[in-house]
Amino acid sequence: MISLQSRLAPRAQGKQPSPIRELMRYLSIEDMISLGGGYPNPETFMLQQLDFAFKDGTQLTIADKDLIQASQYAPSDVLPALKKPLFEWQKFKDGVSLHDGQLVVLNGSQEGIFIMAYLFLDEEDFVVVSEPSYPGAIAAIKSFTKNFLAIPLDAEGMQTDVLAMLLRERQARGLKLPKFIYTIPTGHNPGGVTLSLSRRKAMIEIAQQFDLLILEDDPYQLLQLEKTNLLPTLQSMDSEGRVVRLDSFSKIFAPGLRLGYASASPEIIQQFVYFKQSSNMHTSSLVQKLLGEYLEKTGLANFFSQVQQNCQLYRRNRDAMIAAAQKHLPQSVRYNSPTAGMFIWFELPAFCDSSRMIEQYAADLKVVLVPGTAFSTHAGLRNYMRASFSMVSPTQIEEGIHRFALMIENELNHQTR
């Protein structure tokens, strides 16, 4: 297994568990009388009963002792009622067996990106990301360092051969190697591409060769737009404890609940827990209880089936956007048809300025996309646009891409003046 302490940023070294939070493990002992934690008395809680109805017909009532548990402070890692369902969920979808100390529930997987950057990055450190990359990750990392090794994407995801070459060059020159690789392996945001199996293997080999960690951010894993088997996760291919995996229920349950989780080696998860103890103590007990009860009652297979059924909507919209792009956009615009996720990444002619296009034409044409610079570590990608097909109907997609084509036409005319 990898050595951890030497990798941590100085701010994270030497952290100790909260002495009060650590007492929570005694509270489950029968007949225990606690004069310790300053917990509010449940008799003062305002909630009486909560009833939930789900689209698959599942109905839940949370009341009495269950509601007290859901309303009270909880452990910093995971509510006991959610631990078993999450362990079973990871085994069901990924074939990975997690054990105590290997999982912490987060306020969405975004919190996990920030914690990872907090734990491992200082100003002089480097981190590997794709170019383009998710803006939330770029922002979190920039809170601690501005040093990126930006690796281009193609139809198979991050170009691992380029990554290996750059790392070899840095090593040969005696330059500092990055602390970790940040990757979105499935339905990349914004690239819309999925890391191929051969490149997943290559990434694990690179991490082993150069002694790196991998942050596997996989919120779109189950948003499959083709009827194919899931690719093995990087975590499932890792034999040395190098992968920190982030899973999210935002795209498959409800984003407003802010529920995600990190899973990794116990040593790394312990550091995540220390961060939680000193920041927000724990993720909402109530939403953890709700998810745990739902997974237990509806069953993992039924939940997975519901997610697959919902993917039909995204598949329909993906197909509508590809058809509209083929119909309306000039041949000089390049793009891939995504097999997972919510996005299509459009490469415009090199002289196009996507930020100016939005500023100049979006209001009049009544269509908006995200300029490529939002996804760049160095204000590049000026001739790219990201389009999302998740929230619009096929009719709106058709018209939106038509308006996008007019925007491109305006930009082309602007360049020829």
Residue 107, pLDDT > 90, answer yes
SS3 2: coil
Helices (H) and strands (E) in the chain, counts: 12, 13
Tell me, what's the pLDDT at 326?
A: 98
Task: Enter the DSSP assignment of 231.
Answer: P
pLDDT in tens, 211-260: 999 999 999 999 999 988 999 999 999 999 999 999 999 999 999 999 99
Sequence-separated (6 or more) residues with CB below 8 Å from residue 353: 382, 383, 411
pTM for this predicted structure: 0.95
Sequence-separated (6 or more) residues with CB below 8 Å from residue 370: 190, 385, 386
Mean pLDDT of 375-403: 97
What structural domains and CATH numbers belong to the chain? Answer: 18-26+51-299 (3.40.640.10), 303-416 (3.90.1150.10)
pLDDT band at 417 (very low <50, low <70, confident <90, very high): low
- Complete edge-to-edge strand list for the sheet that includes strand 243-248: 103-107, 259-263, 243-248, 213-217, 180-183, 126-131, 147-154, 157-158
Burial class of 18 by CB neighbour count within 10 A (0 to 12, 13 to 18, 19+): middle
pLDDT in tens, 151-167: 999 999 999 999 999 99
pLDDT band at 27 (very low <50, low <70, confident <90, very high): confident
pLDDT in tens, 58-90: 999 999 999 999 999 999 999 999 999 999 999
pLDDT in tens, 256-298: 999 999 999 999 999 999 999 999 989 999 999 999 999 999 9
Average per-residue pLDDT for the chain: 95
